[in-house]
Amino acid sequence: MILTDFHVLIFISAELLFGFILFRAGIEAIRVSRGWQPGSSSEAQIILERRTWLVSAALYYLSGFSLILLVLFLQIINNHLPGVIQGAMCADGILELNRYGYPALLLKLAQIPFLAFFLLFNWLDRREPEFPLTPLKYYWLAPLAIFWLSGFLSELIFFNQIEPDVIASCCSISFEAARLPGLAVSIETFGAVYWRIILFFLPGLVLLLNHYRRYVAAVLLSLAWTGLSLLTLKGYFVKFIYARPTHDCLYDILWAQYYGIGYVLYGLLLSGLIGQLFLLLWPVLQRRLKNPPLHLEQRLRLVVTVAQFLYLGLIGVYWWYWIFFKL
């Protein structure tokens, strides 16, 4: 039971604040959704329009808070708790302590795309006087609230069930058998031989598919590329960041001693994916807008391409540095 630890206590208190704003914004969003009459200039409609400002402001706040809380959660499981739990050396050992650890992290990550979707919808909605995306944009709050509530409960149970005297397994045990699912070849071998072809080829293909507006195929390819990027990062590239051939940890790259490069790499993967998913929604949205922004589609494509190639460039720099200068 580690809920009395002050790092955890502050995190849980901040999560409650997040929940309070989300709850308040949710109530206002339901009121607006139920009574919304586009084009009406009745007093009730004016009151509802005023309420939309509270929901928008609350969601802007929540977006900032969610990033702070995610970093705080990672800091607790990756830096703080490994000092309190015997045997754990990074977040992997801590998250494996009970079955609620990884769900808590994944549910936390899952909230970010919904917040991003709401912000983009809200921005498009506010550009036009008729608010064409109201109340459609508020539907994003439903999955957000579900993910937050289940994530918060997972976090509570996860921290509550941690016993400081139970020994955790080190991440080296979890990662040593990292293999590509279904293939009898280690990621290391796979990465060493094929990464240049596969990893660079796929973003090029995504770029091409986006150019021809084949967004469904591009989303599927981007998802596959993101998964492959994580697998090859774990099995091959991360060694060049640590400069240790036996170290496969995906969490240590978040530490200050590696300049927090993990935040940049994961941030690029996530923003590329969010951008790509938004491109998928764009044709539907475009039809609802009277005056859609001219360059939004091109900019979103640029975000996806830049995020994917910048990720490749960064891991490529580490690889290149060791292969050509050190080995």
Partner 1 sequence: MSAKYGHILDYALRGLYRRRARNLSLILIYAAVTGFFASVILFSDALRREARETLQFAPALTVQKLAGGRLVPQTTGFGDSLSAIRGVRAVQPRIWGYYYDSPTGSVFTLMAAPGGTSDPAFHPDSGQIVCGRGFMESHFLRTGDPLSLVLPQGGLRTFVISGQFEPVTNLLSYDLLLLHPAEARVMLGLAEYEVTDFALDIPNPAETDAIGLKISRRFPGYRLISRDQVLLTYEALFSRRGGLVIFGGLLSLLAFIVLAWDRASGLSREERRELGILKGVGWGSGDVLLLKFFEALTIAVLSSLLGLLAALIHVFYLGGTLLKSLLSGWSVLYPDYPLNYNPDSGSLLLILTISVLPYLVATLIPAWQGAVTDPAEIMQAG
Which residue type occupies 175? Answer: F
User: Tokens 């040593």 sit at which residue?
Assistant: 176
Asked if residue 65 binds partner 1 (CB under 8 A), the reply is: yes
Asked if residue 31 binds partner 1 (CB under 8 A), the reply is: no
Segment contacting partner 1 (CB under 8 A): 79-87, 142-150, 193-201, 278-286?
Answer: 79-87
Segment contacting partner 1 (CB under 8 A): 49-57, 195-203, 243-251, 277-285?
Answer: 49-57
Identify the CA nearest to 3 among candidates 107, 157, 166.
Answer: 157
Exactly one of 67, 71, 106, 243 binds partner 1 (CB under 8 A); that residue is: 71
Cα dihedral 98/100/70/22 (nearest 10)? -150
Under rule CB under 8 A, how many of the chain's residues touch partner 1?
Answer: 40
**Got the DSSP string for 165-196?**
TSPPPPHHHHHTT-B-TT-SSBHHHHHHHHHH
Exactly one of 14, 30, 270, 303 binds partner 1 (CB under 8 A); that residue is: 14
Segment contacting partner 1 (CB under 8 A): 54-62, 148-156, 238-246, 314-322?
Answer: 54-62
Cβ neighbours of 150 (radius 10 Å):
14
Nearer to partner 1, 60 or 200 (CB): 60
Asked if residue 138 binds partner 1 (CB under 8 A), the reply is: no
Rg, Å, the chain Cα set: 22
Question: At a CB cut-off of 8 Å and minimum separation 6, what does 60 contact?
Answer: 119
Contact 267, 277 (CB under 8 A): no
Nearer to partner 1, 10 or 281 (CB): 10
Exactly one of 37, 53, 166, 244 binds partner 1 (CB under 8 A); that residue is: 53
First to last CA, the chain: 47
Minimum distance from residue 4 beta carbon to partner 1 (Å): 4
- Stretch 165-194 residues interacting with partner 1 (CB under 8 A): 165
Which residue type occupies 224? Answer: A
Q: Which residues of this chain interact with partner 1, rule CB under 8 A?
A: 2-11, 13-14, 17, 20-21, 24, 50, 53-54, 56-58, 61, 65, 68-69, 71-72, 75-76, 79-80, 83-86, 126, 164-165, 256
